[in-house]
Amino acid sequence: MKTKKKTVLNIVLILFILSFFVTPLGHYGKLFLNQIFSFSPPIIEEANRKKITDYSWRLKDAEWNFFNFERSKGKVIFINFWASWRLPSEAELKSIQALYNDYKEKVDFYIITNEDRPPVEEFMAKNKFIFPVTYLIIGDKSSVEAPEKPPYTYIIAKDGSIAVNKEGIADWNTSKVRTLLDDLVSK
């Protein structure tokens, strides 16, 4: 009798684990785990911050119109490179949306992808994201180069100094990040 109970429990456990590989439950489970294990990004000490010198990046907005990054010079800037097909990007975008909701009037947000519009628009609608999407111009020498593996994020102060340089997933909706943004906006 005891052996049957163990066998049933083992089968249930195996089915649960398999569900992460062959059902939508797996996608949402992995997304949830990525969100749980993402933490606030490290902030670079003021004395150690490097400055960006080139603001002449050509980009495209959500309507596919060209614009230049120069328009954000002298402002606090949040830049996130992402891809809709990368699970870590998807996992952190909810925290970016929450940050955008509260700071869109104070901070310039550049949520940058190198994908085509149709899959991005579908992804945005499915997830109810309303932050502005910025598109890279592939092969353009005056465009910023995308990192190999998104997500990758920067927070830049008004003077061009890089306050956060984070490779990989992070939780952007934290008091640590909000305090940093408040401080950078007030300077």
Q: Where are the domains of the chain?
A: 1-37, 42-186
- How many residues does this entry show for the chain? 187
Mean pLDDT within 65-79: 93
pLDDT tens per residue, range 128-142? 999 999 998 776 666
Asked if residue 25 has pLDDT above 90, the reply is: no
End-to-end CA distance of the chain: 71
Q: How far apart are CA 119 and CA 10, in angstroms?
A: 40
* Predicted local distance difference test score (pLDDT) of residue 103: 97
Residue 22: count of CB within 10 angstroms of its CB: 8
Q: Which of 12-21, 85-94, 170-179 has the highest mean pLDDT?
A: 170-179
* Predicted local distance difference test score (pLDDT) of residue 31: 62
Residue 168's nearest CA partner among 27, 41, 78, 26 is 41
* Predicted local distance difference test score (pLDDT) of residue 14: 83
User: What is the band of 43 on the pLDDT scale with cuts at 50, 70, 90?
Assistant: very high
pTM: 0.82
**DSSP symbol at 45:** P
Residue 114 token pair: 């190198």
Instruction: Tell me how far apart the 2 most distant CA atoms of the chain are, in Å.
Output: 73
Q: What single-letter amino acid sits at 89?
A: S
Helix axes 2-22, 24-36, angle to 10 degrees: 80
Q: What single-letter amino acid sits at 68?
A: N
Average pLDDT across the chain, whole number: 86
Lowest mean pLDDT among 14-18, 68-72, 77-81, 157-161: 14-18
Considering the segment(s) 42-186 as one domain, its CATH architecture is 3-Layer(aba) Sandwich (3.40)
